[in-house]
Structure 1
């Protein structure tokens, strides 16, 4: 479970939160990994927190310009609890007025209702959202939601930082297949007192296979 929070004001800082200390240890000490991330874990601007992301967010009062969420798929109630209205509301409070938040939202082919439910839950927390998808080599066609506190444009001329997997036409990422659009009507808001995302996920996986 990975949560990254960035501040771009004067001296840039990055907070990375992950529950699995072994994963963090690999990222720091395995040469093949440090070569891939340019030894990012040794950058003094990077602060690593080996703890539960929900606990980190609950105790945090900082403001961030960018929040990146890469939580595991909501296969069980414990993981579905990471995609709740309540957590998104807390993240809303941490996001700067002009900031952006991005959340991995599962496969748009295998679990389209889960995909749209994550977006709907973010919207219920107050975010303006836009869905997009791109091919991740090890996962296939994968969905995401980008959110902000005010409306924003998805017209992107080019990306000025190094990247590996984005398509040549960036705007194509915001065009979703018709099949996934039909599932949008069945999307739900996932709440702590009514966790349903894991049930939807497991039902969709069975139907897909």
Structure 2
């Protein structure tokens, strides 16, 4: 995001202060993130994302959600209608947010369930996937308050992981699309995304 000159401020929220310290002060890690935590536009908040959003009163034009995979109940509780409803309070009327949503190839039901859960909080969604180095084919959902289209959009800064033709991002093969009908809405009362994740990954 810092590649864009018109970005004035970034709030980075992460629960683990040790991770933040390593990202800033371990030379090899800092080099990987291009020393972004030294950028004067970045403010670091070592706290829980839910707590941060609950106390936030400033609308954001862009929110990027990069939670861990829903491997257990605690993380599954983050990918819920309640969380996305809380996030909505912090999103400007013309704002956009994107959520990492696991691999549509390896965990398609998890992928579509995250999208369906985002929609349950009143968002319009746009689903896409791309090849991420060291991760493989990875999926994301864009959420907005208004209908969204990617028509004629272009990436204006260098990016290693996006194709020249962005339309490819929004195409899913039939074997992935066919799993969309199995998607569920994940909520605090019915937090089962971790169970689906384990089943799709053949966890015991």
Aligned with residue 71 of structure 2, among 70, 75, 84: 75
Aligned with residue 20 of structure 2, among 24, 43, 48: 24
Tell me the TM-score normalised to structure 2 length: 0.93
Deviation at 1:30, TM superposition (A): 1.7
The CA distance in 2 between the partners of 1:38 and 1:110, in whole Å, is 30
Aligned to 2:164: 168
Aligned with residue 85 of structure 2, among 81, 84, 89: 89
My pick for the range that moved more, 77-86 or 20-29, is 20-29
Instruction: Give the alignment of 1:77-156 within 5 angstroms.
Output: 77-156=73-152
Tell me the TM-score normalised to structure 1 length: 0.91
Deviation at 1:155, TM superposition (A): 2.1
Structure 2: runs of 5+ lacking an equivalent: none
* 1:192 correspondence with 2:191: no
Structure 1: runs of 5+ lacking an equivalent: none
Aligned with residue 60 of structure 2, among 35, 60, 64: 64
What is the CA RMSD across the aligned residues, in angstroms? 2.0
Deviation at 1:34, TM superposition (A): 2.4
Moved over 4 A (4+): none
The CA distance in 1 between the partners of 2:100 and 2:66, in whole Å, is 5
The CA distance in 2 between the partners of 1:23 and 1:135, in whole Å, is 25
Aligned with residue 180 of structure 1, among 170, 176, 182: 176
My pick for the range that moved more, 184-193 or 160-169, is 160-169
Residue 83 of structure 1: SS of its match in structure 2?
A: coil
